[in-house]
Amino acid sequence: MLRQVVWSADGSCMALADSSGDLTLYDRLNADSRTLKVSKPWLESSRLLRQRVISNLLWLESSSGDEGVMLCYADATCTFLGKNDEGVLAESWKVNCRTTLPRLMKGISSAAYARNQNIIVLASTICTRVDEDLNNPWFAGLSLWMVADEAPFLRPVNDDNMSEAQRARGLYKRFAKAADGAIKMAFNEDETELVTLFLSGAVAVWQVSFRCIKLRRIWTVDELPRYSQTTRSPGKARARTDFRHPDFPVDVQWWSNTAIILCQAGGAVSLLDITGRELVNISHGSFEQFSPGCLITPNLAEKFLILEQNSTGKNWQRNVSVEEASMTGDDIGLLSEDDDNAAVSAITEVLQSFGMANDKPVKALQKKKAGNSYRLNCFQTASPQEMFTRKLAEEQYGEALVLAERFHLDTDLVYQKRWMKSKVTKISITDFLCKVTNAAWVLRECLTRVPDNPDVARELLMVGLRLTDFTSISRLNDNGTSGGGGDGFHPSDSGDLQLTLDASTLTPEQHAMIGHRRQLLRFENILSTYEQILGGGEKAVRYFLAEEYTEMRRKPPLGIALQYAHKCKPLELHTLRYLHHAELADYWLDILSGFPETCPPEGYQFLVPSILNGEVLDTQHAAPRVLDWCWKGSFSDVSDQESLAVKENLEALQATLSYRGKLTAEKLQRWAENRIREIEHNCGLIENAKQMLQVATAKQVEGLDGLRDELDTLSALVFDGGQTSLSLFDLRLLSNRQILELLDDKKNFPAAFRSRMLPFLRRCERKQPGAQHQLLDEYLSKLSTDPQETLDKCLKVFQQSLPGLPEPAIPSPGEAVDLAIKCILGCPRTDQLDQMKAILQCLPSRESMPNGDAAMFQKVTRIQDLIMCVEFAEQFGVQLSVKNLRDVQANETLVVEFVSHILQVAAQKVPGFTELEWRDIYGRYVKICKRVFLSISDATVVQLFTSALLSAGKNQYIDLAAKFFPIQPTSAPSIIPRAIPGDSGWIVHNRLSTDISSKQLLSAAKEYFINADNWKDPKIKLAEKCLELESSLKTAAGTGKLESGLVDALKVLHALGVDASPLDLWTSEDRFKFVQQVLDVKVEAYRHPDRLRELSKMLDLKDLNRVTEAVAEKAFERRDYGFCRDLCETLIEEKRSSSWELCMKLAAAEDFTDIAFKENMLLVAVANCPDDNLTDLAKLRNRISLQRIRSTQKFSPKLDASVEPIAKLILDPCCSSVHPSSSTKTQPLAKTEKRLELLSAISDPIRGSGLEVLVDGEHRSGSSAFIDGVLVDTALSYLDVDVGLSLASLGALTVKSTAEKFFDAVPPTAIIARLAAYFYGLEVVLRESPDSIENALNLSCHDLLARAPRVSTKNTTTVQLLDLFSKYAQTFSSRKASATGTTSVTSVHLKRPSPSTPSAATSAATVVTSIRSLLKGVDEKKFHANAEYRKSFLLRAAATRDPTFLHRIVDAAEEHGVDGWEVVAANIKFLFTTSGMSVTEVETFLGVIPDLIARLKARRVDFISFSGLQIQSHMTKADIDMLVAYSDFLTDIKKT
């Protein structure tokens, strides 16, 4: 529980002590509090002292500047808490005062600190009671102490009085308990006097000096003021000496040096003067009453604070403004433990605001806990006006009135405040309002205050009227104040007004008073009206509402009437009209329009005016009111602000009305129509609109018939038709046909038609004659033409129009027939035949109307015929509407298609019909065609019928159709129509013509044939039957030949092993493919060409020689050359130019040995082939010529095996690939003997002898240049495949120098140079000695190079060949010398042999020496014997960084049959993978060998393949720069 509170001098810190002895420190700059657990003594004293362990708190400040809190314990121990080095309060020193205090003092009950004198007064409990004779402060329990900066920090001030107290030991033994002691002490502002409050209730004032304390005056509890008599204190009566008595003092503080603040237990706080012997209240005997147990503070700049507790739980809001404040350690032990936290929070929150600036008010204090709240009040000095104002605020009207009378203040404020706070009654009007002397204020209250009782309201208005009577207005002076005295006004009668007051000389104040009077009169008039509306008398008092009356006073009668109409109060409005008829008559229709549309018009029908003889009847009303003097005479022209405002409001309200003015019958009729439409449009209540229509009709309002029809239609649409969103406005936008459709009901159309649609049609007929028929026509037409609708609704309409009904829907029979025909012909559905028949039955018959129009009945008959036709079609499953049939009837083409379709469906129906049934069908069919399809002739009718029978796919139907064909029994007895089971002897009279019958039979046969799956299909039999019937007709020859032939061909093809599709056989554009299939399937079919020609005739093939060509081709494929030869001779005899390919193939056949016949075949081929094939024929001619030479000369050269002639190059596999684009096909294609035969053809004497070719039947000599070009191209094409064939082609050249084209087209490698030198040398040797071919071919390369230059001739051609030989021999020798590093070959003389020409052994040794110089460790024997070893050795040697050495390796490789590009590729692989060279070094190396890079570009395809397999797979660990470099290199190789 909170016991003590103390603040620092600057107000920044606060210390709180509770009953447990704990100390809590609050720092305003720090939001968190800190609790100090200070060491507490053990008390064996009284329970009261044990409850207050810390008796007091003092905020000390030593001379050295140290600041802290001193704790005074109840056991007389003092502890000082000073700030340590960290700025935190901690225990600094502790002094035990018990050793110094006399024994008669028990502990410390209170303490006071004088900052300027640096002394402390300690109060202890004593064993006696203080009284007036007290002269020693020690016997009052007071001791004086001085604060020191060093130990002992607290020193007593010794004097004689202390010694006397020390000797009073016997007194202590005499009293065992404490009897009295100071519990409250406080220094005044000068710190020269000390006021103390004792436990006994006595209050003493002491004079304090540095060395002594002297009693100045003491007042016992009986001498203190008594305020309990003026306040009622709860509880039982107690003695004044009891601390629970209301007059017992609980707190005391200084107000000034001459006055103290005394707080008593009952809550009375007063200021007492201490200068006299008695305590005198300096507030003129008044005091401030607070809740019991409140606490006070010392004077804080002419004010002090009071902390009180409100146990009722009310919320207190009090603003406090202070300049400076501090709080001493006052005892607040009267607070309970439950209220401790709330009180601490309240004190803390408010006192923290003391440190704020002076212009900032302390916020309201309100803390709650356990149902209690606390407030902090401020008591300060005040003037009489301030006191008066405060009394008024606290509603202490008696004291306020006393103050006003004593200090001559305005008493009107008291009466005005009491009037404002009190309820308006007649008593409050008399006691308060009538005592106010300010007439303007009273008048304003009369105008603004509205009591909740009509009598009081009238009394208040009467006060205002008496205040504004003539006498009061005439007494107004120039200042606008009443001339009456201060005792209030006393109204009097006005007398004769015009004699004493001139309206033209009124002052503005008088104008205002007249305006107020008029306003009061209007209020009184409204009050009377309101009372009449409420019922008057007791009802008016019971149901009077001040709010409603206030609302009525703000409005004119017109506004009140509109308000009553809006609130749907017709009775009140009726009373208002009775009392204010003149003001409402011209606006009555607008007032009636104010009723909500949702209000039933029956409720206010008595307010609607009536019409009699074209005039509006007037209503009964009250007599007009008597006007007041302010509205009469010259005062009627006086204008005031209130009247002008009312007039402006009324005019603004009148401007919004539509029917203002005199009420007439026309205006009432227009209002009634608009009102009906407004009701329907705004709320959609059709019933209210119809009620309004009934009310208007009852009031004799005319011109509403059209609106009645619209409402009836709308009611039917909304309530019966479900069109809830439809309105009268929307209804006007709809056409009559749309309305008729909306009145329709899909679920119950008959009821809807009778109850809604038919009445609507009759209403339309009344408005406009003929509208009913037009609407029905449009409606029924739309229903019948809608494919989603049936004719059921139309049937219901016609059933409502049956003849004999009292009110038929369609009264005219002619109109009924027209509408029925329209409905039937417009219906697009196929399932409405029954409804159509029912509609026709509803029409008047010829028997019922013998005098009827014949044309009308004829229309009905035509419709019946159409329905009969539709039924006939439906019998066979053909769905058709009458509308579609009518469309078909108008087009002859569609008629034929329709009838044909029906018959086709009937014929295909399963199961079929008998002859009797067909006879009935035929009869109905003919009848329909005669009645409905008049455009079909009799022949067409029969033709369509027979066509359907023929296409049915049944034998009996075909026999039945034969009845209608002109078949001759003599010519075809087998196909005479036989009797069908159940035959009734049906004899057909109308037969078809022969041509039409033939066409039908052939067409049927064709359809059966085409639709058959194979030759076994039964449809083939039907086709044959149709063809047999067709053959029995007397038709022209040749008809049906194709169809019969195809049927026979189908069987023949099956016999030959080909199952052809009949459809394919018929539709094929080229039926020769079936002959070809026979040749492919049947192995020996080509041996029977006659049978194939017969098949071709069946297939209707015109060109039979084409069969011969196909047979010859097949014989050639079977290698039956003899049979093929005979067929070729036949084709040649018949001059078949297309057989040139066969001739070419036969000539090229190696197994066919008749060379003479081959030559003839070639002549035919050359004569007939295109120009593009002449080259191939030329090659073939040369080949055949070589065969002829071989067959005539039978040359068989023998080669010497002991020598190695250069001619064997064509047999060496290592030399088989010499072209840059090497291929994997390096094996020769021909045998050695064949190649030698080709070589022997070089010396054929007939090579250049006029080759003659036959082109286009003309003989011409062949061009040698052309033939030589062909041979060069042949040599180039065979160079990669067979070097021997290539060399043989060059040998067959007419002009040998043409071979230069061949050698120029290939890269100039060593092997090519060697081959060229050998070719030209061989040609030179053969020209000089053509008979020694065998010897020339057996010459070695060296011998041939040596022999060719020795040839001596003057032949120009031979000389030219020698020059070419010298050219290539020299090139070959130079390349060989560069490879070996020697010049042994260059010493060879080309024209004549040199004696020093090296032999073959010498040449071989030179080659070996060259290889040894390049490659170390080579095995010479294995190098020459094994080609694979030779190639692998050279490729390994390519791993070099020397460009010169690489060139030598490449030359050596080409010298020994290895392609140079392969060596260069191996070197590239070495450079980019395992060389260890940098990118710069590799690029520098590649720049030195551009000629070798060119070899790779020439073989780019092979190199790219080699790169993918051998190089890129080994570069996975290479760095990025090397990869980029190789990518650039590979890109450069790929470029063209």
pLDDT at 1370 over 50: yes
pLDDT at 1262 over 50: no
Task: Give the SS3 label for residue 380.
Answer: strand
Confidence of residue 253 (pLDDT cuts 50, 70, 90): very high
CA distance 821 to 826: 8
Task: Give the pLDDT score at 452.
Answer: 92
What are the strands of the beta sheet with 142-147, ordered from one edge?
A: 106-114, 119-125, 142-147, 154-156
Task: Give the pLDDT score at 503.
Answer: 73
Task: Give the pLDDT score at 1330.
Answer: 59
* Residue 1116, H or E segment: helix 1105-1117
Per residue in 1428-1472, pLDDT tens? 878 888 888 888 888 888 888 888 888 888 888 889 988 988 888
Cα 1326 to Cα 626, 1351, 1392, distances in angstroms: 169, 10, 17
Average per-residue pLDDT for the chain = 75
Which range, of 41-50, 317-326, 430-439, averages the lowest pLDDT?
A: 317-326
Based on its alpha-carbon atoms, the radius of gyration of the chain, rounded to whole angstroms, reads 73
- Say how many CA atoms lie within 13 Å of 130 toward its Cβ: 33
Average pLDDT of 1268-1276?
A: 75
Considering 50-64, 513-527, 1028-1042, the range whose residues carry the highest mean pLDDT is: 513-527
Quick check: 549 and 457 in contact, CB under 8 A? yes
Considering 1253-1257, 1321-1325, 1490-1494, the range whose residues carry the highest mean pLDDT is: 1490-1494
* Residue 1483, H or E segment: helix 1479-1488
Task: Give the pLDDT score at 601.
Answer: 93
Task: Give the pLDDT score at 1329.
Answer: 67
Backbone angles phi, psi at 480, to 5 degrees: 80, 15
Task: Give the pLDDT score at 1073.
Answer: 79
CA distance 423 to 448: 14
Confidence of residue 682 (pLDDT cuts 50, 70, 90): confident
pLDDT at 1382 over 80: no
| Closest C-alpha among 75, 165, 184 to residue 127 | 165
Comparing 1163 with 430, the larger pLDDT belongs to 430
Per residue in 123-177, pLDDT tens? 888 877 776 667 678 778 888 888 887 777 788 886 666 666 665 544 444 444 4
Task: Give the pLDDT score at 38.
Answer: 58
Task: Give the pLDDT score at 770.
Answer: 86
Task: Give the pLDDT score at 434.
Answer: 92
Backbone angles phi, psi at 1338, to 5 degrees: -85, -5
Comparing 293 with 1378, the larger pLDDT belongs to 293
Average pLDDT of 1117-1122?
A: 77
CA distance 634 to 942: 121
The token pair at 743 is 């009145």
Task: Give the pLDDT score at 806.
Answer: 79
> Which amino acid is it at 386?
E
CA distance 342 to 547: 45
Q: 1055: Cβ–Cβ under 8 A, 6 or more apart, which residues? A: none
Task: Give the pLDDT score at 570.
Answer: 93
Confidence of residue 1167 (pLDDT cuts 50, 70, 90): confident
pLDDT at 463 over 90: yes
The token pair at 372 is 């209690």
Per residue in 772-802, pLDDT tens? 888 888 888 888 888 888 888 888 888 888 8
Task: Give the pLDDT score at 529.
Answer: 92
CA distance 541 to 1295: 152
What are the strands of the beta sheet with 77-83, ordered from one edge?
A: 54-61, 67-73, 77-83, 89-96
Considering 251-265, 1308-1322, 1379-1393, the range whose residues carry the highest mean pLDDT is: 251-265
Backbone angles phi, psi at 217, to 5 degrees: -160, 145
Quick check: 398 and 388 in contact, CB under 8 A? no
Per residue in 239-249, pLDDT tens? 656 667 888 89
Quick check: 212 and 138 in contact, CB under 8 A? no
Angle at alpha carbon of residue 1341, lines to 1338 and 1344, rounded to 5°: 75
Q: 1207: Cβ–Cβ under 8 A, 6 or more apart, which residues? A: 1199, 1239, 1318, 1322, 1337, 1338, 1339
Considering 236-250, 683-697, 1355-1369, the range whose residues carry the highest mean pLDDT is: 683-697
Task: Give the pLDDT score at 333.
Answer: 33
> Which alpha helices (DSSP H) does 1241-1382 contain, by range?
1264-1278, 1283-1291, 1299-1305, 1310-1328, 1333-1337, 1341-1347, 1356-1380
Task: Give the pLDDT score at 177.
Answer: 47
Q: Inter-axis angle of helices 882-889 and 813-826, to 10 degrees?
A: 90
How many other C-beta atoms can be found within 10 angstroms of the C-beta atom of residue 834? 10
Task: Give the SS3 label for residue 847.
Answer: coil
Quick check: 52 and 42 in contact, CB under 8 A? no
Q: Given the structure tokens 């060093």, which residue do they identify?
A: 150
Query: Residue 329's Cα: distance from chain center in Å?
Result: 73
pLDDT at 1288 over 80: no
Q: Given the structure tokens 């044309």, which residue do they identify?
A: 855
Comparing 1005 with 359, the larger pLDDT belongs to 1005
Average pLDDT of 1287-1313?
A: 75
Average pLDDT of 1191-1204?
A: 41
Comparing 1065 with 202, the larger pLDDT belongs to 202
Average pLDDT of 683-712?
A: 88
Confidence of residue 500 (pLDDT cuts 50, 70, 90): low
How many other C-beta atoms can be found within 10 angstroms of the C-beta atom of residue 920? 12
H helices, E strands: number in the chain: 64, 29
Task: Give the pLDDT score at 976.
Answer: 39
Task: Give the pLDDT score at 41.
Answer: 55
Q: 1296: Cβ–Cβ under 8 A, 6 or more apart, which residues? A: 1320, 1323, 1357, 1361
Backbone angles phi, psi at 14, to 5 degrees: -140, 140
Task: Give the pLDDT score at 528.
Answer: 92
Quick check: 689 and 676 in contact, CB under 8 A? yes
Quick check: 1471 and 1485 in contact, CB under 8 A? yes
Confidence of residue 28 (pLDDT cuts 50, 70, 90): low
The token pair at 326 is 């501090």
> Which alpha helices (DSSP H) does 394-507 contain, by range?
397-406, 412-421, 426-431, 439-448, 454-467, 470-475
pLDDT at 1230 over 70: no
Which range, of 1002-1016, 1089-1103, 1398-1412, averages the lowest pLDDT?
A: 1398-1412
Would you give the DSSP letter of residue 717? I
Which range, of 643-647, 1220-1224, 1297-1301, averages the lowest pLDDT?
A: 1220-1224
Comparing 1259 with 283, the larger pLDDT belongs to 283
Q: 1393 preceded by cis ω (within 30°)?
A: no
Task: Give the SS3 label for residue 618.
Answer: coil
pLDDT at 310 over 80: no
Which range, of 374-388, 690-704, 1195-1209, averages the lowest pLDDT?
A: 1195-1209
Confidence of residue 750 (pLDDT cuts 50, 70, 90): confident
Quick check: 218 and 203 in contact, CB under 8 A? yes
CA distance 884 to 1030: 38
pLDDT at 361 over 70: no
Task: Give the SS3 label for residue 184.
Answer: strand
In the chain, % of residues over pLDDT 70:
75
Average pLDDT of 1107-1131?
A: 78
pTM assigned to the model: 0.46
| Closest C-alpha among 58, 52, 199, 36 to residue 121 | 58
Angle at alpha carbon of residue 424, lines to 421 and 425, rounded to 5°: 130
Per residue in 1503-1529, pLDDT tens? 888 888 888 877 777 777 888 888 888
The token pair at 812 is 């005219």
Per residue in 950-1004, pLDDT tens? 888 888 888 888 888 887 553 333 333 444 444 445 767 678 888 888 888 888 8
pLDDT at 555 over 80: yes
Task: Give the pLDDT score at 356.
Answer: 33
Which range, of 763-777, 794-808, 1049-1063, averages the lowest pLDDT?
A: 1049-1063
Task: Give the pLDDT score at 975.
Answer: 38
pLDDT at 1412 over 60: no
Considering 65-79, 135-149, 153-167, 1372-1386, the range whose residues carry the highest mean pLDDT is: 135-149
Considering 146-155, 211-220, 516-525, 716-725, the range whose residues carry the highest mean pLDDT is: 516-525
Q: Sign of the CA dihedral 608, 610, 614, 616?
A: negative
Task: Give the pLDDT score at 252.
Answer: 92
Task: Give the pLDDT score at 37.
Answer: 64
pLDDT at 256 over 80: yes
Comparing 481 with 1067, the larger pLDDT belongs to 1067
Would you give the DSSP letter of residue 612? E
SS3 letters across 1505-1516: HHHHHHHHHHCC
Start-to-end CA distance of the chain, whole Å, equals 109
Q: 1475: Cβ–Cβ under 8 A, 6 or more apart, which residues? A: 1439, 1441, 1482
Average pLDDT of 198-216?
A: 86
Confidence of residue 422 (pLDDT cuts 50, 70, 90): very high
Q: 1366-1397 in b/e burial notation, b at 16+ Cβ within 10 A?
A: bbbbbbbbebbbebbeeebbeebebeeeeeeb
In the chain, % of residues over pLDDT 90:
9
